[in-house]
Structure 1
Amino acid sequence: MPATPPPESGDHGRRALAAFLRSRRERADPDGTGLPAGGRRRTPGLRREEVSLLSGVSLTWYTWLEQGRDINVSPQILLALSRALQLDEVERAHLFRLAGRAAPEPAERSLQVPDAVRAFLDTLMPNPAFVIDRCFDVLAWNRAQEAVLGAALLDRPRRELNSAWLLFREPGVRALMPEWEAETEWMAGLLRQQAAYELDNPRFAELIDELTATSPHFARLWEAHQVVEFRSSVRHYRHPDAGDIEVSFVRLAVQEAPWLSLVCHFPEPGSESERRLRGLVTLPQ
């Protein structure tokens, strides 16, 4: 779920926004704007009049912003100013936050899991962990996760490598979960909550359409319109080789790619579940 940062409060927020706009205007390269070459400039960067011309924002309105006036700024104006001031992705997000707006995401969400996150997955052994996107597609996992789910993660079409698809459609996953009914209700509620953020996402629509058409159980839950948020909790597995395993699980955001998150399961230290997990992934006791 995308996070909307709280706006900067009062005068402090307006002063911070004004200072940032001035600093980016003074840094901007006039030669990269397409403006006609002018005479020698007494100060570096762009003039306010040029920012107004490039962005389509009135000179009076832009001047008020640099003066820290108490005015509301629309996302459209912020995007126009971002382009005029040649802001990169990080600077654009900062501008939006200073104005009390949710930062826009990149037009393309990369499905590549950063190398550092993949390496982190391995350091979590013997705790099962995996990376998902906002459609709950599973993009990476560690050896412990593979040991728990077994063949459910292997040799599948990409569209089936999805937490919800596996839960509702894969008999092997259902057999692992003695509390499968509760797990499915929880997952359907998570999907309902996420749906409000994915209205224009064709992958999310494809997933819901397929589950609705192929799983009567999911269809009933979906029509109930129950909405839940993710909460760290406890999960039980009944593994055919390791026996009963109890783990807590958390979901962590990937800061550099906020549409990704890492889900990690971990047993109580020193518990029988920890011993069984270690045995399952053949790690030393």
Structure 2
Amino acid sequence: MRTDGSNDAVGKEVLAVRPDGVAGQYMGFGAMLKRWRKAAGLIQPTAARALGISVRTYRNIERGATPRFTRAQCDSLAEVLGLDQEERHALLLHNVGTYLRAPAEGRQEVPSALRLLMDGQMPSPTYLSDRNWNILAYNQAMAELWPWVMEPRANLIRWALTTAEGRATYHDWHKHATVFARMLRFALTTHGDDTDLQELIEDVRKNPDVQHIWESDDDLVEHRDGHVFLATVPTLGWRTIEIVSHVAYPAVMPDCKFVVMTWVEAKAESDSKRDALGGVRNAWVHETHNTPQERDRAQERIAEAERRRAADVHTARLVVETADEAAAQAGQGAIPLPALSRHVASDCQLTLSPSRRNVVWAVEEAPGEWGVTQVSPATVIARVPRILSAEARAEMKMVIGIALPAPREAAASRVKQLLGELDEEQRLLCEIQEELAQNGAVSGLQGVSEQV
């Protein structure tokens, strides 16, 4: 809003300026509207016609009556008065309560300042999504813990509701699915004509469980700010961590969600029934699996990410123009991993960096724009399917080799430990397979489905 020749962000009121140039008392919307009209050189009947109201009603508004114009009325009035962008925002804020900026066409450009803020949240996983939950940007921690964000057209709700990994990640998935469905229904009330949103809803409703939720629940939820939940993370060896989700709306991209996930430490045993924010721990689940050992592992993972970030300035996510520039981030002796790249996604390029003992994960996000993230070998190992071609197997051996300790004896000891863990896992799976074949149920689980 211009009050003294400059643009200042305003809400429902602005400072009036007396003829002597001294700032005076606050003026309300009516006085602000009168100033706009006079600046445009219009009379009251013209403004009243733009709003579709009587001159008397309009005159009362300028005298102090409180209106609530619709968005259509705001658009019409802004056009007649020739309001600039800040003035249009002030008009909308007072009457509709939101900026209601038109969404950007195509992929949105993420400002460098916002990327800097995102990287500054390390080691907390952080991402930016548009109004339809399409992932626009993310930091190193997010990429390492949930590599799916690096895939083309990554979308939070589509991943959570339609993939096996998403379903395994959230404890009590049906409760989370209900909240996501409510968020989609809320989005329908704000931009239901968006074809991307319609496609997303159509995709998730192909899941019979989601379809049932959609038909049986009609509540609305705007966001999940401050939500505390348990997640089982594949890249942490399927350990369980407790997370607080923080949701903010950047002023430069008000349609988008800036989400930071804080890993919280365990409460004292005497207060084990309370979560990190003092509420009833995981109130929607009867039993948690957040054991002390799992929490210790999560804290170790945070410390590891912080040490890596302090030791290597290249951990921040980059955007380059070509695939060759992306591969060059792997440094001297870089080894392309084309077969593993194909297993991840068609627009993905993985490059092994022996000097840094990590992998450069690049995704073509748009023509001439490659998003580059340096991830640990464990991230690739957790993401790539276990059934591989001969070429992919050879590449995977190199990735696993980089993940092992450098000294030969330490590497051999680690391999022996991993083989023992995998052998035990295979024995358990074989036992379960045999029990399913003989009894149709896993021992100890009979009747659990009826109890839950």
Q: TM-score, normalization: structure 2?
A: 0.49
Q: Which runs of 5+ in 2 are unaligned?
A: 1-10, 14-25, 267-294, 312-452
Q: What CA RMSD, in Å, does the superposition of the two structures yield over aligned residues?
A: 3.3
Shift of 1:49: 5.8
2:64 equivalent among 65, 68, 73? 68
Q: Provide the rounded CA distance (Å) in 1 between the counterparts of 2:180 and 2:160.
A: 8
Which residue identity is paired with 1:68? G
**CA-to-partner distance for each residue in 1:112-170, whole Å, 9 max, x for gaps?**
333322211100011101112222222111111110112x22343x2xx1111111223
1:223 aligns with 2:218: no
Counterpart position of 1:43:
none
> CA contact under 8 A between 2:138 and 2:149: conserved in structure 1?
no
Counterpart position of 2:103:
108
2:242 equivalent among 241, 246, 267? 246
Q: Provide the rounded CA distance (Å) in 2 between the counterparts of 1:176 and 1:52.
A: 55
> CA contact under 8 A between 1:233 and 1:250: conserved in structure 2?
no
Counterpart position of 1:234:
229
Shift of 1:53: 9.2
1:259 equivalent among 255, 263, 275? 255
Secondary structure at the residue paired with 1:197?
A: helix
Counterpart position of 2:200:
207
1:165 aligns with 2:147: no
Secondary structure at the residue paired with 1:192?
A: helix
1:89 aligns with 2:85: yes
Q: Which runs of 5+ in 1 are unaligned?
A: 1-5, 9-13, 29-45
1:154 aligns with 2:150: yes
Shift of 1:196: 2.6
Query: For structure 1, which segment, 219-228 or 273-282, has the greater mean C-alpha deviation from structure 2 after superposition?
Result: 273-282
> CA contact under 8 A between 2:118 and 2:139: conserved in structure 1?
yes
Q: TM-score, normalization: structure 1?
A: 0.73
Q: Provide the rounded CA distance (Å) in 2 between the counterparts of 1:181 and 1:148.
A: 22
Counterpart position of 2:31:
19
Q: Provide the rounded CA distance (Å) in 2 between the counterparts of 1:146 and 1:194.
A: 26
Secondary structure at the residue paired with 1:220?
A: helix
Q: Which has the higher contact order (CA 8 A, sep 6+)?
A: 1
Secondary structure at the residue paired with 1:196?
A: helix
Q: 1:16 to 1:219 in 2, by over 3 A?
A: same
Q: Provide the rounded CA distance (Å) in 2 between the counterparts of 1:78 and 1:173.
A: 42
1:120 equivalent among 105, 117, 124? 117
Q: Provide the rounded CA distance (Å) in 1 between the counterparts of 2:232 and 2:212.
A: 25
Q: Provide the rounded CA distance (Å) in 1 between the counterparts of 2:104 and 2:126.
A: 21
Which residue identity is paired with 1:172? E
Query: For structure 1, which segment, 82-91 or 275-284, has the greater mean C-alpha deviation from structure 2 after superposition?
Result: 275-284
4+ residue runs of structure 1 moved beyond 6 angstroms?
Answer: none
**Percent identity of the aligned residues?**
21
Counterpart position of 1:32:
none
Q: 1:277 to 1:244 in 2, by over 3 A?
A: farther
Q: 1:97 to 1:153 in 2, by over 3 A?
A: closer
Query: For structure 1, which segment, 54-63 or 89-98, has the greater mean C-alpha deviation from structure 2 after superposition?
Result: 54-63
